[in-house]
Amino acid sequence: MSAKLSVNVNKIATLRNARGGNYPNVVQVAKDCERFGAEGITVHPRPDERHITRQDVLDLEGVVSTEFNVEGYPNERFMELVLDIKPKQATLVPDPPGVLTSNAGWETKANLSLLTDLAGTFKEHDIRSAIFVDTNLENIEYAAKSGVDRIELYTGPYADNYSKDAESAIHDYVAAATLAQELGLGINAGHDLSLDNLKYFQENIPGLLEVSIGHALISDSLYYGLENTIQMYLKLLK
């Protein structure tokens, strides 16, 4: 079984917002990503709406025909939005407001009661839950205790180290994924995955179900076009 490719379209919204209007059109790009083979669409509405807005999430709901994944920090506004639209998956990220990009996973032991409550709420609403985590084994253990369905492994450190020493870059991820599987957690991954480092990651991580990729994929599409780029990423996953 190959991991699914979910395209994160935040960067399309960033480009649109640079000029105010509605070009490029996020909904159209999401539909085109699906037409070109994407198996999911991911958005990460942030409190300042600097890229994906609340309205984008509402517009995409009902249009996305593959798996819709909404990521974010679970404040009241985010929870209201997610429970309202009921995407296939909600991925919780412990971002402080104003952070440039998600750069750390949950401290799952310290946040166990919060995460347990949230996992229960999502279950009641038939929304698959995932939480963003690093490879610390205690964080994986407590992720399982919280009752979430999946973890999303934060792959930033893997991407940073891959070109220096791929084997040592992947080491902790294999251990984390192995434990997660033993504990019955599904495994997603994301952040800084690219045409360079994706194949090695997916070949080495047992049970990888989904990757969400934005920055590199949208940047590559400047050179190769969106359709070719999506096909190139899919090829690395098959």
Question: In the complex, which residues of this chain contact ligand PXP (CB under 6 A)?
Answer: 8, 10, 44, 71, 91, 93, 101-102, 132, 152, 190-193, 212-216
Nearer to ligand PXP, 10 or 66 (CB): 10
Whether 51 is a known active-site residue: answer: no
Please report how close the Cβ of residue 2 comes to ligand PXP at its closest, in angstroms. 18
Q: Which residue of the set 34, 39, 71, 210 is catalytic?
A: 71
CB nearer to ligand PXP: pick between 130 and 179: 130
Residue 71 annotated as catalytic:
yes
Token digits of residue 69:
């994944």
Can 171 be counted among the known catalytic residues? Answer: no
Q: Which two tokens stand for residue 109?
A: 């032991």
Q: What is the dihedral of CA 68, 102, 129, 27, to 10 degrees?
A: -10
Q: Which of 17, 97, 30, 20 shows the shortest CA–CA distance to 58?
A: 30
Of 44, 51, 67, 152, which is the active-site residue?
44
Instruction: Please choose, from the candidates 13, 148, 14, the residue with its C-alpha nearest in 3D space to the C-alpha of residue 92.
Output: 148
- How many whole angstroms separate alpha carbon 238 and alpha carbon 236? 6
Q: Which is nearer to ligand PXP, 44 or 150 (CB)?
A: 44
Active-site residue, from 39, 51, 67, 191? 191
Backbone phi and psi for residue 27, each to the nearest 5 degrees, phi listed first: -65, -45
Q: Which is nearer to ligand PXP, 8 or 221 (CB)?
A: 8
Q: Which residues are catalytic?
A: 44, 71, 191
